Amino acid sequence: MTPPAYAEQVKQHLPNSRALVGRGQGHLQIFRGCTPKLLADFVDSLDAKGLDARCLDALRPQPIFVSPAGPPP
C-alpha cells in the first residue's frame, strides 16, 4: 500500500507488476471491501495481471473523523 504516484514509479522496474488503486482511500485500505480477497488471491496465484479488481470501483471514501474515536459507523 502506497500512494498511486509511488506505485507507478516502482511499477516501471517490475515487468510483471500491476498497480491497483482504491480511489478516495487512505490508510488501512487493506481491510476495506474486497481488498483482503484480492491480496489472498494474489498470494495464492502470484498472478497480478490476472486479478479481477473491478470490485475496487465500489469502494467509497471513508467519512472524515469527527471525534478521536474515528468515523461514525
The helices-and-strands tally (H runs, E runs) of the chain is: 2, 0
pLDDT-above-90 percentage for the chain: 52
- Which grid cell is 52? 479481477
What's the pLDDT at 23? Answer: 86
Annotate 40-67 with b (16+ C-beta within 10 A) or e (fewer): ebbeeeeebeebebeebeebeeeeeeee
Instruction: Tell me the whole-structure pTM to 2 decimals.
Output: 0.72
Break the chain into its structural domains and give their ranges: 4-58
Q: How far is CA 62 from the centre of its chain?
A: 14
What's the pLDDT at 69? Answer: 77
Q: 71 pLDDT band (50/70/90 cuts)?
A: low
